Chain A
Amino acid sequence: MSGEILSLVMFAVACGVLLLGFPVAFSLAGTGLAFALLGDALGVFDMPLLGSLPSRYFGVMTNELYVAIPLFIFMGVMLERARIAEKLLTTMGMLFGTMRAGLGISVVIVGMLLAASTGIVGATVVTMGLLSLPAMQKAGYNPRLSTGIICASGTLGQIIPPSIVLVLLGDILQGAYAEAQRALGNWAPEPISVMDLFAGAFIPGLLLVGLYICWIIIQAFIDPKAAPALVTDKRPEGLWGEVLRALLPPALLIVAVLGSILTGIATPTESAAFGSIGAMVLAALYRRLSWDVLRYVVRQTVQVSAMVFVILLGASVFSLVFRGLGGDHLVEELLHNLPGGVFSAMLVVMLLMFIMGFFLDFIEIVFVVIPIVGPILLKMDIDPVWLGVMIAINLQTSFLTPPFGFALFYLRGVAPAAIKTWDIYRGIVPFVLIQLLGLCLVGAFPFLATWLPGVLF
């Protein structure tokens, strides 16, 4: 028992250490190591268990599925450098800008298109912040509304496939689900794959897009000054041709990447490679492909991939020690003994993740929390695709919740001084509520997540 108590103390201490601000990977691993030594001294932890670390690291280095992650990162950074978003934003703005709420809606649509081709949150928010924030300011948009729109649309890439969150979740849920089903005596569980999750997240992603757009329209009707039309009421000549030309490249990429995944022609990893080559070709067509750009893109790819995987390596020390101390049994008992069974267990886990999202990045939540609660929830015979999509919406929300919302930081970094940080924080509140509404809808109507994978596969 004392080991289990120690595991809880470790969790609390880790939260404290994380808040100091040292890189997450080493805060987690360092705390884990300290408690392993402490547990060893108290006779409740077996040090040789840590001998499995090199094997686990090597397991990450040989995980075929994870190769998709650097590839999607490469693709996203390349698209950003190719300025495809820029072109889309300006033409969409010209197309819809003359309508009330039109500019805001066009930002949401561009966010959705970028999300469906790859969706690196940082790149999307920065690009849209640089281009559409000034335009919305000029049109007289309420700064809170405009920053909220940009941040929320910029994070769509995490929920609309292809998405790194879903790749990571798919890998973890796969094993957890099979294990849970066998524990329930089902010897022939349907295998779930990353593609199931991609298909499952598609409609909920579009649902969120719809909710954002509804909210902008409602705003425009309640308070016409919040989202006015552009002053120029004339559309330039040949606009439709421009629109087509701007839409074509992302459309092709979406077909190449999402099409190849959802039809099962390619594994997520291979489709990410198609997308990466596609992004390079587009950049070349736009005459943006130079050695400088390539150098920038490959360096960013290294840094972001290393960041993701080093957290994974650090978190694996932490979770190994947590497990070694018996912490997983404790969580299991806790969730199983909740009154109300599945519903309350789900509610508690979702709430926990939402709250952790205020302080932690999605990757930490995926690597630390899901391996512990995932198998337990799935043993309650919950649909794994539905669970994965619920988690993904929750994690997407963590990008938007102050104080530590990445999307908010990125926007702050590029927003003009006239926009106050407070505006950004206030502006995101309705969108966080929309996210929660989306989460409740998918929670109440699981077919939103489970229908498409059922039809496709």
Chain B
Amino acid sequence: MKRCLNCLYTVATVNGRLQAWRPKAEFFCQTKIPKNVQEAERVGFLSRFVRLVDGLNDWIGRGVAWLVIPMVVITFLVATLRYGFAVGWVSMQESYMWLYGIIFMIGAGYTLLHEGHVRVDVFYRPASPRYKAWVDLFGSVFLLLPVITMVVIYSYPYVMTSWHRLEGSHETGGLPGLFLYKTVILIFCTLMFIQGMSLAARSILVLAGHREFEIKEEEHEGV
């Protein structure tokens, strides 16, 4: 069995035939499927869904990660310009705040994909893959998805009101498009919702015996 560590691309022999899986589509992964290997037929709807969603959130998360650099630089500039040159703009202060919000809200789905959200793993960590899959299935269906649904129900009118008014900053000289920033809440919900569905689908696949969908521990910094 061969495996690409980057994207979990797997080549294995099933029923005497070489087959390949790509549970996480990595847009940038260079691993090619060898000519004599067929992409697995039994990779059905669920795994295609997992692959699509994981790929999307991964791509978005990697993109949004680069916003950290302007956030650092703008915050630095705001302070330096004020002390050094006595100039400053409220809109500039708000722009690093927007970046901060965008980073953690839009990066939340990406973080779920990469197992970045803390679990109380007294029992979870040493448990079997099947236990983990059951917990993740239960958790996605009865905890995560309902919560996100509720947040959407309450946020949608909230964000729409803001659009209706084309709401701007309440600060003098602030950024005008506050309604755009508020919309980030709905984007957060969308990305978390599909990632939650992907987690549920992944758990079903594991319970059905597709070991390649088991969640691997990743290096994680913590705070």
A30 touches B143 (CB 8 A): yes
Instruction: Report B14-44 residues with CB < 8 Å from chain A CB.
Output: none
Instruction: Report A88-130 residues with CB < 8 Å from chain B CB.
Output: 120-123
Chain B contacts for A33, CB-based, 8 A: 146-147, 150
Interchain CB contact (< 8 A) of A20 among B100, B124, B155, B182: B124
What's the minimum C-beta distance from A276 to chain B, rounded to whole angstroms?
A: 5
What's the minimum C-beta distance from B159 to chain A, rounded to whole angstroms?
A: 7
- Would you call A299 an interface residue if the criterion is a C-beta within 8 Å of the partner chain's C-beta atoms? yes
B184 touches A61 (CB 8 A): yes
Instruction: Report A309-327 residues with CB < 8 Å from chain B CB.
Output: 309-311, 314, 317
Given contacts A26-B143, A120-B221, A306-B111, contact A294 B69 (CB under 8 A): yes
Interchain CB contact (< 8 A) of A21 among B83, B135, B182: B135
What's the minimum C-beta distance from A290 to chain B, rounded to whole angstroms?
A: 14
Chain A contacts for B72, CB-based, 8 A: 71, 74, 273, 276-277, 280
Given contacts A51-B154, A306-B107, contact A122 B220 (CB under 8 A): yes
Chain B contacts for A17, CB-based, 8 A: 143
What's the minimum C-beta distance from B86 to chain A, rounded to whole angstroms?
A: 14
Chain A contacts for B45, CB-based, 8 A: none
State the majority secondary structure of interface residues on A.
Answer: helix
* Chain A, Cβ-Cβ closest to B144: A26
Max chain A Cβ within 10 angstroms of own Cβ: one of B83, B151, B181, B221: B221
B139 touches A20 (CB 8 A): yes
Given contacts A29-B143, A53-B155, A74-B68, contact A22 B122 (CB under 8 A): no
B221 touches A299 (CB 8 A): no
Interchain CB contact (< 8 A) of A30 among B97, B104, B147: B147
- Would you call A132 an interface residue if the criterion is a C-beta within 8 Å of the partner chain's C-beta atoms? no
- Would you call B4 an interface residue if the criterion is a C-beta within 8 Å of the partner chain's C-beta atoms? no
- A64→B98 CA distance, assembly (Å): 10
Chain B contacts for A404, CB-based, 8 A: 120-122
Interface segment among B5-13, B48-56, B59-67, B206-214: the answer is: B59-67
- Would you call A305 an interface residue if the criterion is a C-beta within 8 Å of the partner chain's C-beta atoms? yes
Chain A contacts for B184, CB-based, 8 A: 61
- Would you call A66 an interface residue if the criterion is a C-beta within 8 Å of the partner chain's C-beta atoms? yes
A26 touches B223 (CB 8 A): no
B120 touches A304 (CB 8 A): no
What's the minimum C-beta distance from B142 to chain A, rounded to whole angstroms?
A: 6
B143 touches A27 (CB 8 A): yes
B111 touches A303 (CB 8 A): yes
What's the minimum C-beta distance from B61 to chain A, rounded to whole angstroms?
A: 6
Chain A contacts for B205, CB-based, 8 A: none
- Would you call A219 an interface residue if the criterion is a C-beta within 8 Å of the partner chain's C-beta atoms? no
- Would you call A331 an interface residue if the criterion is a C-beta within 8 Å of the partner chain's C-beta atoms? no
What's the minimum C-beta distance from B60 to chain A, rounded to whole angstroms?
A: 10
- Would you call B112 an interface residue if the criterion is a C-beta within 8 Å of the partner chain's C-beta atoms? yes
Instruction: Report A206-251 residues with CB < 8 Å from chain B CB.
Output: none
- Would you call A19 an interface residue if the criterion is a C-beta within 8 Å of the partner chain's C-beta atoms? yes
Chain A contacts for B194, CB-based, 8 A: none
What's the minimum C-beta distance from B99 to chain A, rounded to whole angstroms?
A: 9
Interchain CB contact (< 8 A) of B66 among A76, A280, A298: A298
B154 touches A307 (CB 8 A): no
Instruction: Report A49-72 residues with CB < 8 Å from chain B CB.
Output: 50-51, 53-55, 57-58, 60-62, 64, 66-67, 70-71
B104 touches A310 (CB 8 A): yes
How many A-B pairs have beta carbons closer than 8 Å: the answer is: 225
Given contacts A30-B142, A53-B151, A54-B154, contact A310 B111 (CB under 8 A): yes
Interchain CB contact (< 8 A) of A273 among B79, B83, B97: B79
- A20→B125 CA distance, assembly (Å): 10
B154 touches A298 (CB 8 A): no
What's the minimum C-beta distance from B174 to chain A, rounded to whole angstroms?
A: 10
Instruction: Report B111-133 residues with CB < 8 Å from chain A CB.
Output: 111-112, 114, 116-125, 127, 132
* Chain A, Cβ-Cβ closest to B82: A270
B154 touches A53 (CB 8 A): yes
Chain B contacts for A311, CB-based, 8 A: 117-118
- A221→B136 CA distance, assembly (Å): 51
What's the minimum C-beta distance from B110 to chain A, rounded to whole angstroms?
A: 7
Given contacts A20-B139, A314-B147, contact A71 B75 (CB under 8 A): yes
- Would you call A425 an interface residue if the criterion is a C-beta within 8 Å of the partner chain's C-beta atoms? no
Interchain CB contact (< 8 A) of A73 among B135, B138, B223: B223
- A90→B147 CA distance, assembly (Å): 49
- A295→B124 CA distance, assembly (Å): 30
- Would you call A24 an interface residue if the criterion is a C-beta within 8 Å of the partner chain's C-beta atoms? yes
Interchain CB contact (< 8 A) of A300 among B124, B146, B221: B221
Beyond A24-B118, A66-B100, A67-B75, 9 additional pairs, beta carbon < 8 A: A21-B122, A23-B112, A30-B142, A30-B144, A61-B184, A74-B68, A302-B64, A359-B122, A363-B223
Residue contacts A-B, CB under 8 angstroms, 25 given: A21-B119, A23-B118, A25-B118, A26-B144, A29-B143, A30-B142, A30-B143, A50-B154, A51-B154, A57-B151, A61-B185, A64-B93, A67-B96, A70-B68, A120-B223, A270-B76, A273-B76, A273-B79, A276-B72, A298-B65, A298-B66, A302-B103, A310-B111, A311-B118, A406-B222
The interface of chain B, by Cβ under 8 A from chain A, is 61-62, 64-66, 68-69, 71-73, 75-76, 78-79, 83, 93, 96-97, 100-101, 103-105, 107-108, 110-112, 114, 116-125, 127, 132, 135-136, 138-139, 142-144, 146-147, 150-151, 154-155, 158-159, 181-182, 184-185, 220-223
